[in-house]
Amino acid sequence: MPKFCANLTWLFTELPFLERFEAAKEAGFDGVEVLFPYDVNAQDIVNARARHDLQMVLINCPPPNYTGGAQGFAAVPGVEERFQKDFMRALRYAQTLGAKHLHIMSGVAEGALAKETFIRNLRWAAAQAPKQSLTIEPINNETMPGYFLNDFDLGREIVMMIGAPNLRLQFDAFHAAKITGDVWGTWEAVRDITAHVQVAQMPDRGEPDQGEIDYPAFFAALDAQGYAGWVSGEYKPRKTTGDGLGWIAG
């Protein structure tokens, strides 16, 4: 079976945040990811992660805009200076936590200028942090209306165009199903440039068990293909988190 990690933004939310690390370890996870950990003292997270021998797999960039702005703006023209400032803040946080991946969010934008902006910002970020794994993730427009990176072909084009060894794709099977309707075909088209996988079931974004996507077959394929990265459960539990963890046992 692949290496499974728990997204603590979505899972174990019945517990206070710092208690979710222990719950994840007890449930059988060896890694965790947190979408926006910035409002928690970094050292407290480091201590919780280390206490339970967990890998911090991924966090999102940039830090959230608490004034109500959209999540992410790497593809938004005119705010490049803000992107650079917030990227460096997120990078320091990721390095403190020991996060393997830093996911750069494109934000809401469209058109050729947005694409140019996204590519320019990603090139700059990859050069600033050559030892940090960076990811970009296609997200469907139903979940995030207007999100610029809403297509896997576009994601592949951008990764290949930039050609930085530390910039790869983040493959969310739920978003692949929403965007293309073909999880398997989409995976085959991008698996060579994918550094991180996230899973949730269709159509309810619940546990990756019974539903439209054959996850046992997908996990078996990842093993057969030699995928060495993490597979994160990023889903909304149908009941309590503990009630729906059978999927990680195989």
CA distance 123 to 229: 23
Name the phi and psi angles at 106, rounded to 5: -75, -35
Cβ-count burial 25-43 (b if 16+ within 10 Å, e if not): bebebbbbbbbebbeeeee
CA dihedral for 39, 144, 105, 188, sign (positive or negative): positive
Identified catalytic residue from 22, 81, 110, 137: 137
Q: Is 137 part of the annotated catalytic residue set?
A: yes
State yes or no: is 188 an active-site residue: no
What size, in residues, is the chain? 250
Q: Where are the beta strands (DSSP E) in the chain?
A: 3-7, 31-33, 55-61, 101-104, 133-136, 167-172, 194-199, 230-233
Q: Show which residues are catalytic.
A: 137, 234
